[in-house]
């Protein structure tokens, strides 16, 4: 096959990073990103983009750790380069605090982030309602900058981007040889995946430039993540809620919870409220599938269902998806079916 | 009882507030005033980034370590208060970098979460093989000094915007106690060969992605002569100049080049940072802080002076402990004049 045509559906952090990995590892491929939404209107744009993994019950821990490590290493190198500010990648230190000591005091990712250690008594005094805590340094991917930087890298490698609502993957079979499905929450409708469900998250983005450290409650519901220009205050985890409209009662609740962790936030300005639907699943769907109709086959690589952990594992899953794309190409080249241009 | 504080930097204003707060109830006639030719934002304090961090070694000067600790604990206690934002006070974490292992500093148990850097963290800083990580405080004087000024004015403290040419000028005018917080120019009021300018220059840039302070150390070139990056609430301060004996308050192109090149080498992303301002200032350097009483006699009259100057590059770091110590000295003056009952013991 001369120049396999690959369509990547989805332009959030998973779609763009997957497209980039495919373009990087298959230079002969012609890659196109198709999505009905691009930054700043993707789910990724709502997220803070902090690298603290979410645990998928259905994925082996060593695999999740590998994905996280690859992502962390990749972003660490960018944060240390002249491109850091354009890419929106920066280091941030802070604390994860628990009202009750967690069963697992050492999460699987504790040796991937930097300087992980339990908080001292003196540090915990700042959080009178919390009895235990962990201090570490991790990375944050600010969006839109990170997505825009990925788009720029993609264009530089010849990948095109096209605004297009794909209603059915099969509609792409005549134009493309391989389809990569990074549709996120869109996969619920796109491929009818009933195992994929939204976990609604509402966040506040405020101007509070004196907040330099992150604070996260170990229950995952209350967090303060300082970005380049804005601090993200969160949040909620509302399973099966599809509503994208901000709820004012929730806004007040989030703000109050965050102010109890960091009182100086009372002085925060310019609050913007955003809502995103985490594309949640028991495990990330990262696998090949072959769609076929009337003797015509369309290889598909699925890479969706990252839930609350998209940023934390995006590069690792993108690399795996690119590997699966190469398998598809090899299979196409070895197949006896009529080669498509 | 009239008290005149000379100097309106962080030392002058905090000492004035300390004395006013502690003694106004005990001495009904207490009148505190501040005399200064330079006020915020034109003082030495205003140019500093505002990071609480003492020098690496206190040279056995335990007194200074205690003042530093008192200041840190005082500020930490204010962190959760509504005033913190207005004071320009916030927590900040960061790195101290060395080219060889060094002993832990005197302040390791004062700051929060002090630890050595891991090998992976050191990968961020090629050329440095050892370092510390800790969480400390920022106190931005561009906000703190106006906050102190407001508090003082609310308490009836008067401000006189003029240059004081001599102690007699003030004490001869009916002032009972003079508090000398004149910083680097203290020598103009009373010669002090121990006091020298420690000239510094900084570049203020917009680099809001920098969330940590990074202070490098070069044992050979000496304190503050090695690049540092300190992110504030609006700007990030780039520095790394310390010139002993240099009185020049003009910005130097050579120093600009040194700071810029060294800081960009340390943090490559800074190359894209927009330069907003450049500033030079004179740290009031002295082998140790002059914090003591002196009785000046001129013929018939005498004046009580409390000196509180010579804080070098750690004025913000030590200011509150020093202000409390100056207030204690003031209390002893009151006792001698039998104007107040013995002061309550204070930390």
Task: For A305, list phi and psi in degrees, rounded to 5.
Answer: 95, 35
State percent of chain B over pLDDT 70. Answer: 97
As for how many domains chain A has, the answer is 1
Please give the DSSP secondary-structure letter assigned to residue B51.
B
* Element at B299 (helix H, strand E): none
pLDDT in tens, B167-191: 989 988 889 999 999 999 999 999 9
* A93 to B231: CB separation less than 8 angstroms, yes or no: no
Q: Is residue A283 part of a domain?
A: yes
> Do B81 and A263 count as a contact with CB atoms less than 8 A apart?
yes
Say what the pLDDT of residue B343 is: 55
For testing contact with chain B, the best of A134, A210, A211, A261 (most B CBs within 10 A): A210
Q: What is the pLDDT of residues B225-237, one digit of tens each?
A: 999 999 999 999 9
Cβ-based neighbour number of residue B90 at 10 Å: 24
Q: How far is B82 from chain A (nearest CA, A)?
A: 6
| Per-residue model confidence (pLDDT) at position B347 | 56
Q: For residue B21, how many other CB atoms are within 10 A of its CB?
A: 15
Per-residue confidence band for A170, with pLDDT thresholds at 50, 70 and 90: very high
Give the whole-angstrom CA distance, residue B102 versus residue B62.
Answer: 19
Cβ-Cβ contacts under 8 Å, B268 against chain A: 80-82, 84
Exposure string for B115-134, b = 16+ CB within 10 A, e = fewer? eebbeebbebbeebeebbbb
Alpha carbon B285 to its chain's center:
11
Q: Which CATH superfamily is domain B1-50+140-191+287-346 in?
A: NAD(P)-binding Rossmann-like Domain (3.40.50.720)
Q: CB A212 to CB B209 under 8 A?
A: no
Higher-confidence residue of B27 and B12: namely: B12
Q: According to the model, what pLDDT value does residue B302 have?
A: 81
* Minimum CA–CA partner of B133 in chain A: A115
Nearest residue in B to A119, CA atom: B113
Q: What is the rounded average pLDDT of the residues A252-271? A: 96
The residue-averaged pLDDT of B208-223 equals 92
Cα distance between residue B16 and residue B34, in whole Å: 7
Separation in Å, CA of B347 to nearest CA in chain A? 19
Determine whether A9 is exposed, middle or buried from the number of CB atoms within 10 Å of its CB (0-12, 13-18, 19+): buried
> Between chains, do A209 and B135 touch, taking CB under 8 Å as contact?
no
**Distance of alpha carbon B160 from alpha carbon B181, whole angstroms:** 15
What gap in Å lies between CA A257 and CA A233, rounded to an integer? 9
Tokens of B284: 């009031």
- pLDDT score recorded for residue B303: 87
Facing A209 at nearest CB: one of B113, B135, B233: B233
User: Which chain A residue has the Cα nearest residue B121?
Assistant: A114
How confident is the model at residue B339, as a pLDDT? 64
Quick: pLDDT tens for A51-71: 999 999 999 999 999 999 999
Whether residues A123 and B113 touch (CB distance < 8 A) is answered with yes
Does B92 contact A84 at a Cβ distance shorter than 8 Å? no
End-to-end CA, chain B: 26
Rounded CA-CA distance A272/A269 in Å is 9
Q: Which of B81, B92, B121 sits opposite A212 (nearest CB)?
A: B92
A118 in contact with B, Cβ within 8 Å? no
A122 contacts on B by Cβ (under 8 Å)? 112-113
Residue B209 predicted with pLDDT over 60: yes
Q: Pairing state of beta strands A223-226 and A214-217?
A: antiparallel
* Residue A339 CB coordination number (10 Å): 11
Decide: helix, strand or coil at residue B119: helix
Residue A266 has, within 13 A of its CA and on its CB side, a CA count of: 12
In a domain, A341, yes or no: no
Identify the pLDDT of residue B173.
82
pLDDT at residue A206 above 60?
Answer: yes
The answer, yes or no, to whether residue A336 has pLDDT greater than 70, is no
Interfacial A residues in 82-111 facing B (CB < 8 Å): 82-86, 88, 90-94
pLDDT band at A74 (very low <50, low <70, confident <90, very high): very high
What is the arithmetic mean of pLDDT over B248-265? Answer: 97
CA pair distance B8, A171, nearest whole angstrom: 74
Considering the domain boundaries, does residue A139 fall inside one? yes
Q: Is A204 inside any structural domain?
A: yes
Domain that holds residue A38: 5-335
| Residue A123 touches partner B, C-beta closer than 8 Å | yes
- Per-residue pLDDT at B341: 54
Determine how β-strand A296-304 pairs with β-strand B158-161. unpaired
For residue range A265-276, what is the model confidence (pLDDT) as tens digits?
A: 999 999 999 999
Domain membership flag for residue A326? yes
Q: Which of B51, B108, B208, B209 to probe the A interface (max A CBs under 10 A)?
A: B209
pLDDT tens, position by position, B236-248: 999 999 999 999 9
Convert the pLDDT of each residue in B268-291 to its tens digit: 999 999 999 999 999 999 999 999
Distance between CA atoms of residues A222 and A224, nearest Å:
7
Specify the residue for token string 């008192």.
B70
Closest partner residue to B112 (CB to CB) among A122, A137, A263 is: A122
Mutation to test the B interface, candidates A264, A265, A268, A269, most B Cβ within 10 Å: A264
Task: Output the pTM of the full model.
Answer: 0.94
Task: Give the pLDDT confidence score for residue B220 in this predicted structure.
Answer: 84
Known binding residue B71? Answer is no
Note whether residue A113 is domain-resident: yes
* Residue A77 in contact with partner chain B when CB distance is under 8 A: no
Which pLDDT score, from 0 to 100, does residue A156 have?
Answer: 97
Distance of CA B222 to CAs B127, B218, B225, B229, B279, Å?
A: 17, 6, 6, 17, 21
Write down the pLDDT at residue A341.
47
CB pairs under 8 A, 24+ apart, for B185-191?
B186/B284, B186/B290, B186/B307, B186/B309, B186/B310, B189/B6, B189/B164
At residue B177, φ and ψ (nearest 5 deg) are -130, 135
Q: What CATH number does residue A89 fall under?
A: 3.40.50.720
Task: Give the tens place of pLDDT for each residue, B121-174.
Answer: 999 999 999 999 999 999 999 999 999 999 999 999 999 999 999 998 998 888
The answer to the question of residue A32 being in a domain is yes
For the segment A268-295, the average pLDDT, to the nearest whole number, is: 96
Nearest alpha carbon to residue A136 among A94, A104, A80, A73? A94
Contacts of B210 in chain A (CB under 8 A): 90
Tens digit of each residue's pLDDT (9 = 90 or more) over A4-42: 999 999 999 999 999 999 999 999 999 999 999 999 999
A338 has pLDDT over 80: no
**Separation of first and last alpha carbons in chain A:** 8
Q: Are A317 and A56 in contact (CB under 8 A)?
A: no
A206 found inside a domain: yes
Our CA-based measurement puts residue B282 at a distance from the nearest CA of chain A, in whole angstroms, of 27
Chain B residues near any Cβ of chain A (below 8 Å): 79-82, 84-86, 88, 90-93, 112-113, 115, 117-118, 120-121, 123-124, 133, 135, 138, 207-212, 231, 233-234, 268-269, 271-273
More confident residue, B222 or A176: A176
pLDDT mean across residues, chain A: 95
Average pLDDT over residues B18-36: 94
């Amino acid at each position: 096959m001369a120049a396999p045509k690959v369509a990547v559906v989805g332009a959030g952090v998973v779609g763009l990073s997957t497209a980039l990995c495919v373009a990087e590892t298959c230079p002969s491929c012609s890659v196109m990103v198709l999505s009905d939404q691009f930054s700043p209107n993707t789910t990724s744009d709502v997220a803070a983009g902090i690298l603290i993994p979410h645990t998928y019950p259905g994925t082996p821990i060593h695999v999740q750790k590998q994905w996280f490590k690859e992502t962390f290493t990749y972003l660490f190198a960018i944060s240390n380069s002249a491109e850091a500010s354009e890419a929106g990648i920066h280091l941030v230190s802070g604390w994860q605090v628990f009202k009750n000591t967690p069963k697992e005091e050492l999460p699987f990712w504790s040796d991937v982030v930097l300087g992980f250690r339990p908080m001292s008594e003196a540090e915990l005094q700042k959080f009178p309602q919390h009895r235990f805590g962990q201090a570490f340094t991790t990375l944050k991917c600010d969006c839109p900058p990170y997505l825009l930087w990925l788009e720029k890298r993609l264009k530089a490698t010849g990948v095109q981007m096209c605004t297009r609502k794909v209603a059915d993957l099969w509609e792409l079979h005549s134009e493309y040889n391989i389809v990569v499905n990074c549709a996120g929450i869109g996969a619920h409708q796109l491929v009818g995946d009933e195992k994929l469900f939204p976990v609604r998250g509402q966040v506040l983005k405020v101007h509070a430039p004196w907040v330099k450290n992150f604070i996260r409650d170990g229950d995952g519901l209350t967090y303060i993540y300082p970005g380049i220009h804005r601090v993200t205050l969160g949040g909620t985890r509302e399973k099966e809620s599809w509503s994208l409209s901000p709820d004012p009662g929730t806004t007040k609740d989030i703000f109050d919870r965050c102010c109890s962790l960091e009182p100086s936030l009372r002085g925060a300005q310019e609050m913007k409220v955003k809502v995103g639907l985490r594309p949640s699943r028991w495990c990330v769907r990262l696998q090949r599938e072959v769609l076929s109709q009337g003797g015509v086959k369309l290889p598909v690589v699925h890479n969706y269902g990252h839930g609350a952990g998209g940023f934390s594992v995006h590069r690792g899953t993108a690399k795996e998806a690119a590997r699966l794309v190469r398998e598809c190409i090899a299979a196409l080249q070895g197949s006896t079916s009529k080669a498509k241009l | 009882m009239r008290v005149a504080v000379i100097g309106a930097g962080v030392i002058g204003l905090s000492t004035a507030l300390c004395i006013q707060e502690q003694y106004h109830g005990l001495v009904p006639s207490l009148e505190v005033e501040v005399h200064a030719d330079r006020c915020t934002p034109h003082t030495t304090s205003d140019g500093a980034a505002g990071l609480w961090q003492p020098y690496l070694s206190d040279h056995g000067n335990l007194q200074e370590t205690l003042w530093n600790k008192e200041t840190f604990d005082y500020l930490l206690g204010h962190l959760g208060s509504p005033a913190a934002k207005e004071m320009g006070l916030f927590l900040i974490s960061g790195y101290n970098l060395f080219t060889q292992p060094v002993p832990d500093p005197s302040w390791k148990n004062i700051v929060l979460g002090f630890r050595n850097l891991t090998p992976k963290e050191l990968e961020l800083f090629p050329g440095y093989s050892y370092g510390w990580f800790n969480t400390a405080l920022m106190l931005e004087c561009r906000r703190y000094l106006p906050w102190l000024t407001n508090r003082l004015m609310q308490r009836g403290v008067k401000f006189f915007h003029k240059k004081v040419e001599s102690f007699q000028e003030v004490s001869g005018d009916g002032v009972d106690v003079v508090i000398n917080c004149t910083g680097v120019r203290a020598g103009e009021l009373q010669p002090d060969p121990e006091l020298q300018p420690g000239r510094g220059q900084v570049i203020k840039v917009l680099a809001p992605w920098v969330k940590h302070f990074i202070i490098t150390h070069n044992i050979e070139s000496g304190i503050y002569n090695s690049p540092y990056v300190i992110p504030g609430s609006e700007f990030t301060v780039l520095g790394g100049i310390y010139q002993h004996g240099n009185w020049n308050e003009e910005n130097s192109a050579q120093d600009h080049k040194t700071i810029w090149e060294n800081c960009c080498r340390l943090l490559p992303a800074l190359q894209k940072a927009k330069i907003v301002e450049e500033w030079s200032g004179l740290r009031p350097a002295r082998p140790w802080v002059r914090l003591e009483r002196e009785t000046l006699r001129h013929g018939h009259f005498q004046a009580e002076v409390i000196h509180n100057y010579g804080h070098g590059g750690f004025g913000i770091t030590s200011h509150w402990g020093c202000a409390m110590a100056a207030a204690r000295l003031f209390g002893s003056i009151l006792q001698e004049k039998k104007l107040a009952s013995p002061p309550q013991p204070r930390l």
